[in-house]
A and B are shown apart, each in its own frame.
Chain A
Amino acid sequence: MKKFLGVTLGAMALALLSTALLAQDLRILTAVTGGKDAAEQELFVKELEAHLGLKIEMVKPEDYDNVLFTALSSGEKYDLVYGDSSMLANFVAQGAIQDVTALVAASPVLSNVAEIPASEWALFDMDGKKYGVPNKFEGGTMPVVRADWLAEFGMKDPVTLDDWMAYFRKAKEVKGAYGLSMAGLYDIQGFMSAAGVKAGYLTVDGKRTIPYATDAAAPIYDWFGAMYKEGLLDPQFATNGSKEFRNLFMTDKVAAVTYWDAWVGLFNNIVHTDHPDSKFEAKGIAGVPGPDGKVILRRGEPSLWFIPTNAEHVANAIKFLEFWHSPAGYVMGTLGVKDVDYTVKADGTYELTEQGKKHSLDHGSPRVESTTWVNPFGLLPGVQAAQDVIVASGATVEQHPVEWNDAEVILKKYAFAAMSGEMTGAEAVKHMQEELTAAKLID
């Protein structure tokens, strides 16, 4: 019995020890970076370890928000966590992440504006401090139209609200399609642009305002309401997810949607893969110019890498980030794992494997921040033009402080009612202002 106990205890100690020996040099919690499934993820980490010479644990959960919250708040220690700029204010207020300004300045790679342009850093700057490092180029959302339909109707790219309305009417008449479909309030920005208002909060003279709830926005709600009554607006606009409107768009059931610039290419690619003869051509175009002639579009929230305050291997975290913003890192973030997703031919050019083709050149950073590196396979048709429109518009990230969560509920309630023609835009805006003021959400 004693001997048995001894052996058992010995085995247990060994088991504990062996987990101790497995200790990592770098622990990463990620949402999109890595392999597309568990098997590829293992290979991805293996290649990463070879590049960096570190033992790496890279956790890539299926429901990121939930795991991020549970793991971190229960005291799990990670050296890098993935997130976006909307989390920034909260994390900084809680003291959960490190100020990396000095670390970035000291890094020849990260401080190189050819790899990460200054304008990209500016998107999430907090009083001159950097609390994260960009992961990829995010692009933005914009109205996407059917260029082939416009050509067929003999129309030019719509510019004013009236142009759009004419295009929608024609699409309904000729194609039996809805004019516009979308998935939420944030998708109306391209048209709200006509009133010169921007989503989210805007601080004017130290006072918090919400442009969508101002009188300037009212006529745009009415414009949507009129469209709804005419049957030009997809009546499910309030309940759709992006999946729903994407499907409508690719099956000729709607003439325009608001979506990511990157998806312009995917729309074209998906339709032409299955229907090579199709005339389908998606095209991203600028929103409606406002009174001052300027277009306001949405930039995507920059995706960022944070170094938690309790990180144990900060130097290794920086080492990873420097790799991620180097050519070898760009290849991993786009093409994926060598000899799994792609092979290198004798002449040094790349060739995608079957699996690599299925993964659409996306292993965490389909578009990189670098201004010098060129993707060997290029971008999908229509993406570059769409991206240029976003960049040209000078779109900036919207302000979404913590109060936005509550404010958005109020905005949506009345905006959607007005857009369904149940009340006028003026009434909706009035209700918004009343409720937002009462809830102390605007000053």
Chain B
Amino acid sequence: MRALRTHFVLYLLVAPVLIYFALFVFYPLGMGLWLSFQKAGMMGPQGFVGLLNYQKIFVSGAVWDAAWNTMAIAAGITLFGTLVPIIPAIALAEISPDPLRRALQTTIYTPYLLSWVIIIGVWMNTLSPIGIVNAVLIGLHVITQPITFFASTTWARPLVVGQTVWKDMGFHALIYYAALMSVDPELIEAATMDGAKGWHKIRDLILPHLAPVIGVVFMLTLQGALHTFDSAFLMANGRTAEKVTTLAVYAYQRGVLQFDLGMASAAGVVLLALCLVVAALSRWLLPQGARV
């Protein structure tokens, strides 16, 4: 009886969250699914057309290229974006005095505050043929001709991945750092007494403690990466478009730029399907401890 009452209170507490998702996410999603089977343009929905929108998408190979680009970019962003920020998080916890640590933490957080337009602009400048990176590489005789990073098909995807990981580094490090704050100092103390090395403490104490949070960051990064839009959209140019046009960019081009709501919705549904499959796969692949 008491359990029931507690449960009732708990359900009541979580109700606003569920209602929010139902009304503002799932209801529009239902409408979006419905739209993907409609002829819909600037006049709104005009009637059921069956799978026509999907046919229009799949008739050209572009959607497959976009799906492949999405997965390649998402894999890179997820792998590095989840794991690399653990390093600065642990490093931050090592740094004293306090003001220095805070200054460093704020510094690595700044790119997260800048919009993608600025980030891309700054890196274009840095990596331009007359930019600082090419100057250094030529100075060190690593290369003889400047590399045109942003016009290179080889560099296109690594640049999207690298810039995303770099931009989110401070934020992900903050999540890990906050989780580190709840490591029991006595455990570290005890391990030190037992003569454990630093690396072993990271491996045996820190990483297991972080595992659930790593799971959350992994999920967040993975799904965010599958929806990659701004970075790819802003970076794509005549030379690199075929490497960085993601499904989200593709949906935008078909919808907003070609005024076809039905097709944009259908392209979005294709992306949704990909996300669901990847989410299911990754849940299945993740170790138990890090499962969300």
Contact = CB atoms under 8 A, between A and B. Distances in A.
Interface string A66-81: 1001001111000000
B41 interface: yes
Contacts of B253: 405
B43 A416 contact: no
Interface string B238-281: 11011000000000010111110100000000000000000000
A68 to B, nearest CB: 8
Contacts of A185: 238
Interface string A4-30: 000000000000000000000000000
The 5 closest A-B pairs by CB, nearest first: A412-B238, A96-B42, A94-B41, A239-B150, A238-B151
Contact of A73 (B42, B238, B241): B42
B131 to A, nearest CB: 10
Nearest to A417: B239
A107 interface: no
Given A236-B148, A239-B124, A402-B258, 16 more contacts: A69-B261, A72-B42, A73-B44, A73-B259, A75-B44, A90-B259, A94-B259, A184-B238, A235-B129, A236-B129, A236-B150, A239-B148, A406-B60, A412-B241, A417-B239, A420-B148
Interface of A: 65-66, 69, 72-75, 87, 90-91, 94-96, 184-185, 235-236, 238-239, 308-310, 402, 405-406, 409, 412-413, 415-417, 420, 439
Contact of A235 (B124, B151, B259): B151
A69 B255 contact: yes
Interface of B: 40-44, 60-62, 124, 128-129, 146, 148, 150-151, 237-239, 241-242, 253, 255-259, 261
Contacts of A416: 151, 238-239
A75 B237 CA distance: 34
A409 B62 CA distance: 10
Contacts of A66: 256
B231 to A, nearest CB: 14
Contacts of B148: 235-236, 238-239, 420
B62 A406 contact: yes
B151 A413 contact: no
B209 to A, nearest CB: 43
B250 to A, nearest CB: 11
A239 B259 contact: no
A416 B153 CA distance: 12
Nearest to B149: A239
Nearest to B124: A239
Contact of A236 (B43, B61, B128, B255): B128
Given A65-B256, A66-B256, A236-B128, A409 B241 contact: yes
A257 B264 CA distance: 36
B268 to A, nearest CB: 13
A185 B241 CA distance: 14
Contacts of B42: 69, 72-73, 91, 94, 96, 308
Nearest to A240: B237
Nearest to A438: B61
Given A65-B256, A406-B60, A413 B242 contact: yes
A415 B151 CA distance: 13
A239 B236 CA distance: 8
B151 A236 contact: yes
6 contacts: A69-B255, A91-B259, A95-B43, A413-B239, A415-B238, A420-B148
Nearest to A234: B129
Given A73-B261, A184-B238, A406-B62, A235 B43 contact: no
Given A96-B42, A405-B257, A238 B237 contact: yes
B285 to A, nearest CB: 35
Interface-central residue, A91, A96, A236, A415, by most chain B CB under 10 Å: A236
A362 to B, nearest CB: 23
Contacts of A96: 41-43, 259
Contacts of B261: 69, 73
Contacts of A406: 60, 62
Interface-central residue, B60, B61, B238, B258, by most chain A CB under 10 Å: B238
Contact of A310 (B43, B129, B146, B258): B43
A33 to B, nearest CB: 20
